Amino acid sequence: MEAQVIVNELETSAGQLNAESIDEIIRKVKTHDRIFVYGTGRSGLMLKAFAMRLMQIGLNAYVVGETTTPSVQKGDLLVVASASGETGSVCMTAQSALKQGTDLVVISSNPDSTLGRIQAPDIVIEAATKFSTSEASVQPLGSLFEQMLLVVFDTIILKMSREQQGANDDMARRHASLE
């Protein structure tokens, strides 16, 4: 069944994650007062989910492009993701953020990409992209990459929440109440 194929791919990909890389991203998140996220398409949706959880854990998190998002400042953190590393708006946003003194977290499948040349990826997820196929996945386009983004981001939140007494209750109190 296709669902089991997807789960198997996720298990293989998750087994390739580097715990030190996850911990380094957590360190970056914890040492910045404001965290911004940016991506497009399904990667952008996973980044929005991450921003939501960061807010629920009590951090100041913003999605670039939303009308209420403030301007970045020196010392802020921007998290970007692009499977191909060639998404023009992601590359331009990362470049602009660096020029403004913003620190950067990069997640990509292609360390040799334009994005990878702006900054070496903090995490490389082996997966297909809209431009290439991969032996790591039979799923279309960047599905494995996008699924793994959610796994990476939820791993970060889980590790951070385990460090805070009562984190789940605090997160529940910050959960949207106008639904």
- Per residue of the chain (179 residues), give pLDDT as tens: 898 988 888 888 899 899 999 999 999 999 999 999 999 999 999 999 999 999 999 999 999 999 999 999 999 999 999 999 999 999 999 999 999 999 999 999 999 999 999 999 999 998 755 665 667 776 667 789 999 999 999 999 999 998 877 767 777 777 776 67
Active-site annotation holder among 2, 146, 163, 179:
146
Distances (CA, A) of 128 to 56, 84, 96, 154, 175: 31, 8, 27, 21, 34
pLDDT for 132 equals 59
Let me know if 24 is a catalytic residue: no
What class, spelled out in words, does domain 19-164 have in CATH? alpha beta
For residue 42, the model assigns a pLDDT of: 94
* pLDDT in the model for residue 133: 63
pLDDT at 149: 97
Alpha helices in 60-142 (DSSP H): 88-99, 114-118
What pLDDT is attached to residue 163? 83
> Which of 109, 52, 120 minimizes the C-alpha distance to 86?
109
